[in-house]
Amino acid sequence: LFPELEWNKPERRDQAGRLLVIGGSSHALSAPANAYQQSKKLGIDDVKVALPDSTKRLIEKSAVDAVFFPSTPSGEFSRDGEQELLDYASWADTLLFAGDVGRNSQTTILLESIVRSFSGQIVCTKDAVDSLLLQPDILFERESTTIVVSFGQLQKLLKNYSYLYPLNFSMELAQLVEYLHVLSKKIKCSVVTLHNNQYIVAHNGTIVTTKITSDTESKVWRLSTAVAVSCYQTWNPTKPLEALAQA
């Protein structure tokens, strides 16, 4: 739909934006590590990964450009690092909550605070969304925000948001498009989900669908899509729908 976005990708890496990937714990690191590698391949100039300091011994210095913040005894992000991480986040154009954050209550409080305090673009996916399921308003009512979520995650978020109309797995594509058309006019964030082998983007009343091309893609789509969204929205902050569709 928007081929000019591909032609207009920054040619100079020093003009290609700054992305901070937030995620990981001492139990899982693949999401932030893969997000780092994928965003570098797509062309973001400056990518850093924020990790809990419990992961230092697990990270090879050459693998990712990592910065470390206080962790809980169980290895997730600690609330003690909240202000330090917020100060560091001001460096970035876009924050990507990539997942593998675990389910620690301190980590949830930390993520909530960052979402509320950061003023730039935020993209949230995988279990970082799960951490915020009980506070859906901080995602739904925040501008410059994109959630890349499974259909089940979106269903839970809307239930906790007390949205009047239930989201059903049995919906046909046309029904879902109409549902998201109405929903995306009421909320401020953008939504990317997958249903019946269709990528679905919802932004401010406009819906774009794209059929996926392989079963493999359907199994790993959330992180790769969230990375692409982070890159294209960084490059096109005034064209959110176009960026989402192209990603």
Q: How far apart are CA 159 and CA 56, in angstroms?
A: 38
Q: Is 186 exposed, middle or buried (0-12, 13-18, 19+ CB in 10 A)?
A: exposed
Per cent of the chain over pLDDT 70 is 95
Instruction: Tell me the pLDDT tens digit for each residue of 67-100.
Output: 999 999 999 999 999 999 999 999 999 999 999 9
Instruction: Tell me the pLDDT tens digit for each residue of 27-76.
Output: 999 999 999 999 999 988 899 999 999 998 887 666 789 999 999 999 99
Q: What is the CA radius of gyration of the chain?
A: 17
pLDDT the model gives residue 13? 63
- In the numeric block, which tokens belong to residue 88? 């560091």
Q: Cα–chain-centroid distance for residue 210?
A: 19
| Average pLDDT value for residue range 214-239 | 88
Q: How far apart are CA 172 and CA 42, in angstroms?
A: 33
- Residue 142: C-alpha distances to residues 36, 79, 120, 148 (Å): 25, 22, 10, 15
- In the numeric block, which tokens belong to residue 36? 């780092």
SS3 content of the chain, % helix, strand, coil (to 5): 45, 20, 35
Q: Is the pTM of this model over 0.85?
A: yes
Q: Are 93 and 234 in contact (CB under 8 A)?
A: yes
- The better pLDDT of the pair 43, 108 is held by 108
Q: How far apart are CA 18 and CA 34, in angstroms?
A: 17
pLDDT the model gives residue 186? 96
β-bridge mates for residue 200, sequence order: 193, 209
pLDDT the model gives residue 230? 97
Instruction: Tell me the pLDDT tens digit for each residue of 110-157.
Output: 999 999 999 999 999 999 999 999 999 999 999 999 999 999 999 999
